[in-house]
Amino acid sequence: MASIHSTSGLEGIRRRFFPTPFQSLLSLLSLALLVTIGWKLLDWAFLSAVFSAEGGPEACRAAAGACWSVIANRWRIIMFGLYPYEEQWRSALACAVVVVMVVLSCLPAFWTGKRIALVWGLGTTLFYFLLKGGVLGLNRVGEEAWGGLALTLFIFVSTCLIGFPLSIVLALLRRSQLPWISRTTGLIIDCVRSLPLVSILFAFAVVVPFMLPGWLQSDKLYRVVFGSALFFAAYQAEIIRGGLQGVPRGQEEAAMSLGIGYWHRISRILLPQAMRNALPATINQFVIAFKETSLVIVVGFFEILASGNAAYGTGQWTFAYVEVYAFIALIYFVFVFSLSRYGAFLERRMAVGER
């Protein structure tokens, strides 16, 4: 059995890559190129790289490969930003809480209203008080000192937590029977979508405080999060509206004929089917939202990318920016790649009812 497979495999390779002398030459050249690049990368990243933190920048300058000791030396700045050094375990714990919370809410076993509310209520409260402190003997750490991965996760999670329900509300208002409601909602969505996110963040951070009464002025971070949630909601609302349009009219009629009321028609019949239609675009939107958290850099927040800039920008490590960015890219990759794999799992799971 195995020999048949391997010969047919070899035969397949021969037919695909070496059908004519010229194509064989091209295949060999490409292979040589790939091997060279692969070897250089391997050599740079591992074989000639400096891993130990001991030698400091000097050891790196002497070596030919990557300088991972910058990560070993400076990872706390990358991960936690300006958060007070001796309190950074709280920031780490808070990140862990978010990851556990997200993983739990991705499990089908937690998809009941009560459980999901419990997980998110408990998770966000824990996250917030871990970061902020001021209770149970934890020192208070102001929002201006939050940074690194914890800040990135905070902005992402709260953008989704506010933006996603808001997007459903906007999508439902936009398909309202009353023209003045649907048109006004449409106008709001189109206005928000017509502006770049950077300008929205800037407006919420800098301009809005002039227009709000004093008692409404919260910390800049919350205004920025709200701006980012609004932006997310405007796009996601259109995605959900598209999903709703894909649900046949007969579905709502059948529910009406059974006497099922508006809210149950929306929550039990229309939205579950609309979300299934909208799933690929929705996952896309979450991925974009995660990556766009880095834009808060323009209003002076030290999320993970800005913290990375600070980590190598102190003079002695300036040469090691490639390694720092590679490390940050890896962190982004781990989060975004798991998100898209989860999206693929959801699509397979939901396809069960489609057959």
Partner 1 sequence: MPSSRPTQAEPAIRIENVTKHYGSFLALRNINLSVARGEKIVVCGPSGSGKSTMIRCINRLEEHDGGRIFVLGTELNDDVGNIDEIRREVGMVFQHFNLFPHMTVLENCVLAPMLVRGISRSEAEATAKRYLEKVRIPEQASKFPGQLSGGQQQRVAIARALCMQPQIMLFDEPTSALDPEMISEVLDVMVTLASEGMTMVCVTHEMGFARRVADRVIFMDRGEIIEEAPPEEFFSAPKNERTQQFLSQVQTH
Binding footprint of partner 1 on the chain (CB under 8 A):
248, 250-251, 253-261, 264, 268-269, 272-273, 276, 350, 352-355
Amino acid at 14: R
The two tokens of residue 101 are 């919370």
CA 205, CA 209: separation in Å to the nearest integer?
Answer: 7
CB 251, min distance to partner 1, A: 6
CA 82, CA 76: separation in Å to the nearest integer?
Answer: 9
Max CA distance (Å), the chain: 78
Q: For partner 1, give the closer residue by CB, 255 or 306.
A: 255
CA 155, CA 137: separation in Å to the nearest integer?
Answer: 26
The two tokens of residue 115 are 């459980």
CB 178, min distance to partner 1, A: 15
Amino acid at 208: V
Q: Which residues pair with 148 in a beta bridge?
A: 303
Q: For partner 1, give the closer residue by CB, 21 or 108.
A: 108
- Is the distance from CB of 75 to CB of 312 less than 8 angstroms? no
CB 265, min distance to partner 1, A: 10
Q: For partner 1, give the closer residue by CB, 31 or 351.
A: 351
Q: For partner 1, give the closer residue by CB, 16 or 264.
A: 264
CB 263, min distance to partner 1, A: 10
CB 290, min distance to partner 1, A: 28
Q: What element of type H or E holds 147? A: strand 147-147
Q: For partner 1, give the closer residue by CB, 79 or 271.
A: 271
CA 228, CA 353: separation in Å to the nearest integer?
Answer: 35
Q: For partner 1, give the closer residue by CB, 214 or 248.
A: 248
Q: For partner 1, give the closer residue by CB, 258 or 334.
A: 258
Q: Is 195 helix (H, G, I), strand (E, B) or coil?
A: coil
CA 67, CA 46: separation in Å to the nearest integer?
Answer: 10
CB 293, min distance to partner 1, A: 32
Q: For partner 1, give the closer residue by CB, 140 or 355.
A: 355
How many Cβ atoms are within 10 Å of 30's Cβ, its own excluded? 11
Q: For residue 287, which of 237, 232, 226 has the smallest C-alpha distance? A: 232
CB 352, min distance to partner 1, A: 7
**DSSP codes joined into one string, 233-297:** HHHHHHHHHHHHHTS-HHHHHHHHHTT--HHHIIIIIIHHHHHHHHHHHHHHHHHHHHHHGGGGG
CB 266, min distance to partner 1, A: 12
